Amino acid sequence: MRWIAVAALAVVLATPVCAQPADPAATARTELEAVMGREAIIRELAGMGAMDQVVRERFLAARQEASDEDRARLEVEAWPIAEAVDQANTARMRELLASHEGWFPRSQFGRVASEAAYSVVQHSGDLELMRNVLARMEPLIGTADLNGSQYARLYDRVATMDGHLQRYGTQGTTCSEGRYVIPADLEDPEHVDERRSALGLNPIAEYVEGLNQSYGRCTPLAGH
């Protein structure tokens, strides 16, 4: 009888214990409470991003069909307003990151706030801040928490500011006869579309055509 009892005990111990199904309501409540704990920063990032975009949209709309003379006036009379927005956003982003670990993943901060944070950094002109953010973004590459095209654009901006070759060709650095063309400062240009595709970017020829549609004839820009 003893061996039967031992065998029965062995069967019981070997039988996997089924985990209790998670309570969806409790899980959702916990997640939403966590979101509300981030409410202030989510709203602030979204607002910073909105200002970043609207000043650029209005400036570029005025610039697109303007004469060379008027473009020069726009740079002097209008662009400083956008620069002031960038400077305020950059100073605040430094403060936020000083007390924040990692980047702002979409699953925790939402698409709007996450992409707004990227725009602020991309337009900051602050190399130290950009390098810091690239390192924070890297663990999220290939996940739903990061728009890979943002990493590509930030990587290329840092590269061009450092005087290095672009990896993804996201910076319109080459102009020919008034039109943007495929950048000349490209690392391994034959495989650029492969690298772009891996991070969710369209082919470089389409990107360049988009530059021409957005900016009009190309002349040097003041970091826009």
The tokens of 39 are what? 């409410």
The burial of 39, by beta-carbon neighbours within 10 Å (0-12 exposed, 13-18 middle, 19 or more buried), is given as: exposed
Report which secondary-structure segment, H or E, holds 76. helix 68-77
Place of tokens 């005025």: 62
**DSSP letter assigned to residue 190:** G
What is the residue-averaged pLDDT of the chain? 89
Greatest alpha-carbon pair distance for the chain in Å reads: 103
Q: Given this model, what pLDDT does residue 221 score?
A: 45
What is the pTM for the complete model shown? Answer: 0.81
Q: Given this model, what pLDDT does residue 12 score?
A: 47
Distance (Å, whole) CA 32 – CA 23: 14
pLDDT digit string, tens, across residues 183-197: 999 999 999 999 999
pLDDT digit string, tens, across residues 22-56: 888 988 888 888 889 899 999 999 999 999 999 99
The tokens of 125 are what? 């002109």
Q: Given this model, what pLDDT does residue 9 score?
A: 45
pLDDT digit string, tens, across residues 143-168: 999 999 999 999 999 999 999 999 99
